[in-house]
A and B are shown apart, each in its own frame.
Chain A
Amino acid sequence: MSVLEALRVAWSGLAANRLRSGLTMLGILIGVGAVILLVAVGNGASAAVQQQIQALGSNLIVVFPGSATSGGVQQGFGSASTLTMADVQALQNRQNAPDVAAAIPNTQGRAQVTYASQNWATSLTGTTQDFPSVRNYQVAEGQFFSANQVAADAKVVVLGATVAQNLFPGGQDPIGQSVFINRQAFQVIGVLAPKGTSGFTNQDDFVAVPITSAWAYLLGGRNTNVQQIYVEARSQQAMQAAQSEVTDTLLQTHHISDPSQADFQVLNQADILNTASQATQILTILLGAIAAISLVVGGIGIMNIMLVTVTERTREIGIRKAIGARRSDVLLQFLIESMFLSAVGGVLGIVVGALGAAILPHLITGLTTVVSLPSVLLAFGVSVGIGLFFGIYPANRAARLNPIEALRYE
């Protein structure tokens, strides 16, 4: 019997029990749909994180402080405050680090910014004049603060695009205006061009002030802590050299001879990307695995229904055997029937999963989904495989039926 003929027979068998076939397919549909959707969510999260990391800047190296020890308990990495402005200056020295294009300190805080009747809660970045070039920002209006302003603890601020829109909603020119940051008056000297959203983070929702002013007026005065140092390498090729130069320089400035005792950590973008994508990959695998459980449940549903079908059609199987069907013909017929159920369920599941992945980001803000072709192909292959796997036992049972007993079956 040809496969086409078996398909025709399988179709007539399934069409005879539409509701039952439909419900069985639903099991696979939900399973495949869930796999596609959840993997899309996982992929979306990992794409968002990657975008976020890449948006930090190009050829970027980040220096984090080491972990602090508090009462004998080692705190997490980045908890110590071992980086200083002197480190930044050492890295900017061409003799120490010839492959470093620029190095900027970064200190973060929260800020309540007010102008007239408007106010906006945002994040505060304390940094130096090289911030736009290292972090890939364009200045849209006015200018960024200068090295002199950094040196003079100038009370000047550059607004991110989102902050500017919210504080000056009437299209007013922010340049030259005085805003209050945590009740301290700062003069707006520039507005940054929007960079857009990356993952869950709006990259335009912050204000930048000279790090010295942040220390002096906004972060409690006595604090002269640098939370991270961003280092831009000269080029993609110079990344590795720059990274080792940064490490050597900082070991020197920190008077540490044994690199394993370093109280800081130097990561390049690829490292950060790797760490982050490992985490998101685990998320994706976890989501996929949960969804896969429902696929297995769907498969068991197919097996269940096929066993019922085989029992119901015992007599038909007997007739077919009496008129010359071989075991393999009967086996093929029932296998094709179960695979047909699971394949159609799988295709519908892919459609539903892809639709869900398209709709979901509109319902939940900040969520992105990426439907990947491999996950679609895998889900379809797995669903057909499930039809095959869970169909073999019932089909084999049908094929092994004794024709005499099958014909006698009522």
Chain B
Amino acid sequence: MITLEGVTKVYRMGKVEVPALRGVDLHVDEGEFVAIIGASGSGKSTLMNILGCLDVPTGGRYVLQGIDVAELDDNQLALVRNRLVGFVFQSFNLIPRVSAVHNVEMPLIYSGIRRDRRARALAALEAVGLGDRAEHQPSELSGGQQQRVAIARALITDPAILLADEPTGNLDTESSRDIMRLFVELNREGRTVILITHEPDIAAYAQRVVRLRDGLIVADERSPAAAHVPEGGWR
């Protein structure tokens, strides 16, 4: 479902070329829960941007559900982001001064769906346990609640992959646990989840941990029984 073959990404800073990815091969099957872990500067954000079709690789191939992303133009990339990818960010990235339900509805607006938009958004909020906060604005919600709204927004178009970039980075321990449980639950329902983090205990929720260093995959470990409670508990 996701195949990366020799993906490279080189940033140009003036005349200097900075390689961020030096040839990444990765295959993710449907229903997997993969954590991509690495220190800052390891290239994991670049990989996330490429996986999320926010950016295109400099070299190599990225095939998402049979679509070669390198061949897509700007509008088609927007369409892929809209239909096939659900983003969850570290800083929630909800649109301010817009109610929770309207935030969740937003991807449907861009996909041109008119019917049942609001009902679907309400159902998605219900599914993340925020049915009673639909009319609240992001500033009236706690961090954990905002992240749930973001997850509801990511799921509304029923995407092929759920991409989470440090989703617990701005949350306290308890909210982090809640959010990770939500991801585990979503994965159990068959959702493909790719999680990007630098914290091993967050990565421990995944069935598979891919370790990045200096733009290369240095380890790819599968733990058949996913650790739903990390060893040693929470910090």
- B-binding residues in A (CB < 8 A): 1-2, 5, 12, 16, 315-316, 318-329, 403-404, 407
Contact = CB atoms under 8 A, between A and B. Distances in A.
A329 B112 CA distance: 11
A323 B96 contact: no
B49 interface: yes
Given A322-B54, A323-B87, A323-B153, A316 B79 contact: no
B182 interface: no
B106 A316 contact: no
A320 B89 CA distance: 13
A300 to B, nearest CB: 27
B95 A320 contact: yes
B49 A325 contact: no
A316 B83 contact: no
Given A324-B110, A327-B74, A12 B98 contact: yes
Interface in B73-102: 74-75, 78-79, 81-83, 87, 89, 93-98
A321 B78 contact: yes
Contact of B106 (A16, A315, A323): A323
A326 B81 CA distance: 10
A21 B176 CA distance: 40
A326 B107 contact: no
B97 A322 contact: no
A324 B54 contact: no
Contacts of A321: 54, 78, 81
B109 interface: yes
Q: What size tier do the contact residues of chain B reach?
A: 20 to 34
A324 B98 contact: no
Contact of A324 (B49, B78, B95, B97): B78
In terms of DSSP, what is the predominant structure of the interface of chain A? helix
Contact of A404 (B49, B111, B112): B49
A1 B89 contact: no
Contacts of A324: 78-79, 81-83, 107, 110-111, 157
Nearest to A325: B110
B235 to A, nearest CB: 27
B49 A1 contact: no
Q: Which of B75, B110, B157 has the most CB of A within 10 A?
A: B110
B25 interface: no
Given A316-B95, A404-B55, A326 B75 contact: yes
Given A1-B110, A316-B95, A324-B81, 5 more contacts: A318-B93, A321-B54, A322-B87, A323-B153, A326-B79
B215 interface: no
Query: Lowest 10 CB-CB distances: which A-B pairs, in order?
Result: A324-B82, A324-B110, A326-B78, A323-B107, A319-B93, A324-B81, A326-B75, A403-B54, A325-B110, A16-B97
6 contacts: A16-B97, A315-B93, A322-B93, A325-B78, A325-B110, A327-B75
B52 interface: yes
A5 B52 CA distance: 26
B40 to A, nearest CB: 14
A404 B97 CA distance: 22
A410 to B, nearest CB: 9
A323 B81 contact: yes
B97 A5 contact: no
Interface string B114-140: 100000000000000000000000000
Given A323-B81, A324-B79, A407 B110 contact: no
Contacts of B112: 1
B165 to A, nearest CB: 10
Contacts of A403: 54
Contacts of A328: 75
B61 to A, nearest CB: 20
Nearest to A323: B107
Given A12-B97, A407-B89, A322 B81 contact: yes
Q: Which of A5, A323, A404 has the most CB of B within 10 A?
A: A323
A12 B94 CA distance: 15
A327 B106 CA distance: 15
Given A403-B54, A404-B55, A407-B89, A323 B97 contact: no
Contacts of A323: 81-82, 87, 106-107, 110, 153
A19 to B, nearest CB: 15
Interface string B16-32: 00000000000000000
A326 B54 contact: no
A1 B109 contact: yes
B82 to A, nearest CB: 2
A340 B52 CA distance: 34
A1 to B, nearest CB: 6
